[in-house]
Structure 1
């Protein structure tokens, strides 16, 4: 079960920090850390809308801590895995900056490692390589592409993937009651987001609904950026406009917040400096 912390419980207690001072990524991943590493995947493909990014809504029954939240795909990373990835990532990074606790706010991701567009890519599936294995696991386990994964091979892959960035931030998750019922204490998850890009050859391998997500859809990078900026859910999926007048609208109310959305936003922005619109891919051709 995930552990959540009040802000006072994070002050100076995250491994690698002294009086909320800066820490390197390696220090944040040291044994005993309160940071939770997360593998996050920005899934992209060419659709009738042009180049598009995948979003979905987390199901309440399978995601009790983040129900009905618009999300990009994620999975928790064991610290041992994250340390191995961090070594390779920082070795090829174009930019690394220390993490400053005093600069972090809820749902505000800070990039601490940035990788170039020329970073090493892998094809999916490829069980002999760590990143393609992670991406393939997420495709099959959460995104409903297990049949496509079984039929694919390194000779006829589903797409290519690469790491793009690592970010740090506090993700708001809940409120804890206090002696004053009107002023509950917010709780946070301190997360290290390992952001990857998956370029799918065929968007049709992703269904609209899975056990983890409902309303999976493809969104233009421009609409995605607008959704992150305004938190208007219809920017991510126009279907939500059609539900506004439903009698049970409370049951389909969703929100757009969280570090996974921020990670994809930074990934898209980095693809073309100064823009949320990605440029042409240099992935393997067939």
Structure 2
């Protein structure tokens, strides 16, 4: 692949490139030359429209300038009733300090995202942030996150969605110099969705108090299956402030390790109505 290389030292909270409806960016190499670099902005103070955007085959390397750097930021400022639809983010290789896909304000709904085949490393391992944060204002649908590799403090956070599929991803988790809890996938108020065929393991040098593969809360009609979760303290953990219902946890392989600090050694911990747990292999 032939790349056009861009060196960036301009800091803008909206992102250096603000992408409006129908924009497509392919095969660009971006190298940061300053802290705080945000590459792409969608749904910002400059434009509330960001439908049908594609970002593919790009390389972003924050290098030594990892502080507050990110690849994509959604909705820097809330617009009442706004939404972003049909976003494709695929085949990118990203080394960012803080986030791969971040959001600025809870005010948007998100529909039909395809985030696939990306390799992502978050290098500010003391920042304790998710590689992807998608928090819909009221509801979002059709989020597919598949065949990605996430190396960093946290993995994927989803909230207020229906019809999500997070499958076939690899998560290498952990922080450094911070005593905190780390989650691979966190799903909050998500319905009719699936988390399957993902792998989770600990990152070298991790200092987290405990690692959790999948953290859940207030799920409905949800399937968690065929995941391999190793080198963690908690495999699948429900936060329990609002009980989930109609959840299936099946055919997962979980190795939960007691870290000796009062956390861990728990394969599955859940508060759920109408729960099915079957054919899991749990070593704790």
Q: Same fold (TM over 0.5)?
A: no
Q: Which has the higher helix share?
A: 1
Q: Which has the higher strand share?
A: 2
Relative CO higher for 1 or 2, CA cutoff 8 Å, sep ≥ 6? 1
Length-normalised TM-score, structure 1:
0.24
